[in-house]
Each structure stands twice: as structure tokens, then as C-alpha cells.
Amino acid sequence: MVHDQLTATRRRLLASGAAVSAGMVAGCIGGDNGAGPDGQHLLYTQEVNPEGDFDPIVSNDAYSAQIIHQVYDGLYEYDYDLELQPKLAAGEPEEEEDGERYIIEIVDDAEFHNGDPVTAEDVAHSFTAPVEEDTDNRPEYDFIDVDGTEAIDEHTVQIDLEHPYGPFETLTVATYVVNESVRTDDPDDYNTNPVGSGPFTFDDWTSDEFVELEAWDDYWGDPQPELESVRFEAAEDDAGRVSQILAGDTDAIATVPPEDWDQIDGEEGIDVHRTESPSYMYVAFNCNEGETTDPEVRRGIAHAFSMSEFVDANLGDGGTPIASPIPPIVNEIWDFPTDDWDEATPDYDPDEAEELLESGLDDPDDWNPTIIVPPDDVRIALGELIASRLDELGYDAEVQSLDFATLTDTYISGDADDYEMYILGWTGGPDPDVYLYNLFHEDNAGVTQGHFYEGSDDFHDTISEARQTADQDERREMYIDVIDEIVEELPAMAAYSEHNTIATQDYVTDMQPHPNVSYNPELVSDDNNVGIDEE
């Protein structure tokens, strides 16, 4: 499962609005006259060009995943409420062996694009291959018992786990199913010429330029795609995507920049769509060394500015402030006590900030914290706001905007000379484990988290125990205890959840952004079927 707009390795840092290289100029489908209602052909402009791995066993970037979602069907897939629904599966998983075995029936009429039937052997291979081949996606499947995972018959798969894994039924079963025989015959070719069972077939790809897909006339599922083809191009500069949608040079763009929201939304002939996403942006503190090892200092910084005012001014309709490391859409699924966390979150109180900083700092006269941020405007602005408020209190804070490669090498050093704060984010799925294990557990210190928070005696053990517990009610109670401590001790301060947004020309029908960014654009589902109004 891809959890990020930049990368889905164990360093999955959310990069919505990622600034990479110069933007590509979008072309058109079926001619040289720009985009427009010319048959059922859609031109979709992504934020970043796919890396070019279109085998879901190997691929780990969200932009390739957006292509994969059109070409492959999952065993289960998320609906717009982030609830898993059977796709290639014929029903719900049957749990056995106290959560260490699952039996899953698959439908008997699904086919791959080459006419091969989708079998339980293909499903078993889709779960075991990331482990056996040690791909970048292995951490999401490490608990799979490779020897015990097998086809019982043509349409029944047995998936064994080395230990119970709570998120298995909420995350792992949302696995795309590959064609084992074609894939294993030539893995390299399969990566760039994928054979899936989804509504679109892979037609053409030129690296850093475009990907073209064609509707599969014999798609086994329902509904049949309305579109005849879809072309993906990228404009990696926000201004480039905005100019293309305004000029009519593309049919749809991903991610409407907050500063351009009102202009695009007010433009005749253009529609703007948004939905909540499971994204979590945060300000993390260096708990390894330096002044921010003291929770009073961390709370003092949190009291020095208003996060809600910042989000309103910089994101507007594009995001919402949050008080915990779990995004609102996931809080709702788990019925977490968010009112308690809202109440416990430090509000803007400069007097309290000054008092806490003065009492908590070892050397108030010589504190010059460094805040490192990725190269996107909103998070740079947040870093600058924190620095300016600290400056007003007499401390000379510095903001450094680093490219992602440098940032990922820096924020895990634990060196206070490198940073005392960093601003990053994470996007996952409807299970708290995605956030709490990856961003707070000691196993991931120096990997996916750089705060190095030690926590209370049972903090890390509780996170581990929760992910190895099959009972969801028990897991909920354990997660509440963990989140209570995070909100109180602030190894990381929750900032905001950014919405998934898409802008379309008004002749594009039935397009809705999905909460799971790797599904966008959701072209064919039970809830929508994108088409072109040619009238």
C-alpha cells in the first residue's frame, strides 16, 4: 500500500506540493489543439512524473501507484469512507488460528488483460513476493509466513502470519493482485508492461513525459469504464498546473494550491473538488539532544503561535488543523476521544510560552534553534511563523528549507546542531498503526522518525502489542493510551491534515477525489464512473 506522495519506502514523507524539477508542458490526446471534449479521452496532470515502476510488488511511489490503480484490481479496495470492500475477493476474510491465519475466497470470473483467469496462486504470490524478493515494500508484508501462504484450491487462498497483526484486515488485504506466471517469466518487462485485471490496459509510456492507458473492452468487473483512454502527464510546478487548467490545456489537475483555490474555484467552466485525506502534518522536536529534550520547552514553543490561525490563513479550504497524530478521517473510523485531545493541545498564549521557555531552557541567552523544512510553501511558512514568534520572545531561530534527499539524511541524525525541530508529514490508511508505529516507535528511530522520543516505560511496548493484537477493541484502548502521552509530552506537535483536491474542466463528469491519494484519479468505481460530456 502506498502511503505517500513522494515515496512509500520506510521513509514515506508526505510531499503534497512537492517541488522537484521544472514542470512538464501538458500535451493532448488525439491531436495538437490542446485538451477538450474530444471523445471519451481524458488528460490528467499529476504533480510529479511516475518513477516508472508499474509492478505493484516493486513500485513504491504514489504517482506510479495512481497508474497501477487503473491497471490492477485489488483483493479489497477502499471506498470513499476508507472502508475496505471486496473486489477480487468474494467476501470477508475468515480468521483462524487466533489471528495467525486468514482464508479468503476469490471471485471465479475475474480475468487478467491477457485472458488468464485470476487464481488463488496469483493472490498468494502477491502477498509473498515482497518478502521473498526483499522489495522496498517488504516492511508492509514482513509478518507474512511465506511457507504457510498458499492456494488451497483455484479460488481459495490461505494467508499465514508469523504472529497476529492487527492491521491485516484494515490495511494489508488492500493488495493489488499480479499475474504470477507473466511476472515471474520476465520481471523486468512486467515492471514496464504490466498485465493486471483492472478496467484499463497499459498502452504506452515515455519516461518523464507521459503514460497512456486504454479502456479494457472485456473488463470483468462492473461498471465498465466510460472513458476510452486516459493520458497522464505531469507539471511538477504548482504554477504550471494552475496555468494549464486555466488555459484549457488539460482536462484535470491534481492538487489545487491553496493560494490559487479562490481563483480556480471562481473560474467559469472549471470545477474544484476536495475530500478529506488520511494525511498528518506535524512539527517534531529533537528529543535526543538539545533544549527540546525538555517537554516544558516543547510546550512553550507550542504556546508561542496559533496553529488554527496559521492553517486558516495558509490552507483555507484545503486543510484542517488537528490535535493528534491521527487524521480526522481515521479518528472518526475508530471513534477516538478527539475532544479530550483538542482540550489538551496548547493554545496560543505568548505569556505561557515565555514562562515555560524561561524555566525550561538550560541557557536561555544562547538558544538559537534550527528548524528544517521541506521545499514546499506551506511548511516553509509554518517554520517561519514559529521562528518569528520565538524571535519575538528573544530567541534567534533559523529556518532551513532542504531538498528531500538532504532533509531525510538530516532529520534522522539526532544532532541538535542539525535541527531542534523538523516539519514533515505522513499519509496512510484507516489504521492508527500506520502513524504510531512508523512515526513514534523506537524501531524506527533514525529511519522514519528523528525525534528519538524514549517515552514512558510501556510506551513502545504498547505500540508493539497493539499491532500484534487481532482484537480491534483492545487495540483501540491501547492506542488511546499512546496518543494521550503524545499529546501531553509533545515529541511531535500535530499541525494539520491536508485535503486531496482536484480541479476539472466542467465537461469532465463524475470525478471525485478519493481519500487515498494513490487512488486518484478514481476513474471507475461503484460510486463514480468518470466520463466526458461532449455536448
pTM of this structure: 0.85
312 contact partners, CB below 8 Å, separation of at least 6: none
Residues 264 and 344 reside in one and the same domain:
no
CATH number at residue 512: 3.40.190.10
190 contact partners, CB below 8 Å, separation of at least 6: 55, 178, 179, 182, 183
pLDDT score at 60: 84
Full domain range(s) for residue 175: 73-183
Question: Per residue in 413-449, is it b (16+ CB within 10 Å) or e — as a string?
Answer: ebebebbbbbbbbbbbbbbbbbbbbbbbbbebbeebb
Q: Strands (DSSP E) along 97-251, which ranges? A: 101-105, 150-153, 156-160, 200-206, 210-215, 229-234
Residues 456 and 525 reside in one and the same domain:
no
Residues 157 and 224 reside in one and the same domain:
no
Give bridge partners of residue 423 from the DSSP assignment. 283
The answer to whether 195 and 175 have CB atoms below 8 angstroms apart is no
DSSP-assigned letters across all residues of 355-391 = HHHHHH-S-GGG---EEEE-SSHHHHHHHHHHHHHHH
Question: Does a structural domain hold residue 15?
Answer: no
The answer to whether 10 and 139 have CB atoms below 8 angstroms apart is yes
Residues 462 and 354 reside in one and the same domain:
yes
CA–CA separation, 511 vs 504, rounded Å? 8
Last residue of a domain, one of 183, 209, 242: 183
pLDDT tens-digit profile, the chain (535 residues): 333 333 333 233 333 222 222 222 223 333 333 567 778 999 999 998 998 999 999 998 889 999 999 999 999 999 999 999 999 999 999 999 999 999 999 999 999 999 999 999 999 999 999 999 999 899 889 999 999 999 999 999 999 999 999 999 999 999 999 999 999 999 999 999 999 999 999 999 999 999 999 999 999 999 999 999 999 999 988 999 999 999 999 999 999 998 899 999 999 999 999 999 999 999 999 999 999 999 999 999 999 999 999 999 999 888 999 999 999 999 999 999 999 999 999 999 999 999 999 999 999 989 999 999 998 889 999 999 999 999 999 999 999 999 988 998 999 999 999 999 999 999 888 999 999 999 999 999 998 999 999 999 999 999 999 999 989 999 999 999 999 999 999 999 999 999 999 999 999 999 999 999 999 999 999 999 999 998 7
Q: Where are the alpha helices (DSSP H) in 88-193?
A: 120-132, 180-185, 187-192
CATH number at residue 459: 3.10.105.10
Number of domains composing the chain: 3
Nearest-CA neighbor of 467 among 18, 114, 162, 36?
162
CA-based angle 416:444:325, to the nearest 5? Answer: 85
- Answer positive or negative: Cα dihedral of 165, 169, 174, 175: positive
pLDDT score at 22: 24
Question: Does a structural domain hold residue 481?
Answer: yes
Evaluate the omega torsion of the peptide bond into residue 346 and state whether it is cis, within 30 degrees of 0.
Answer: no
Give bridge partners of residue 117 from the DSSP assignment. 111
Residues 421 and 514 reside in one and the same domain:
no
Residues 376 and 298 reside in one and the same domain:
yes
CA–CA separation, 493 vs 500, rounded Å? 22
The answer to whether 453 and 151 have CB atoms below 8 angstroms apart is no
Question: Does a structural domain hold residue 432?
Answer: yes
Q: Where are the alpha helices (DSSP H) in 97-234?
A: 120-132, 180-185, 187-192
CATH number at residue 133: 3.90.76.10
Nearest-CA neighbor of 156 among 123, 115, 192?
123
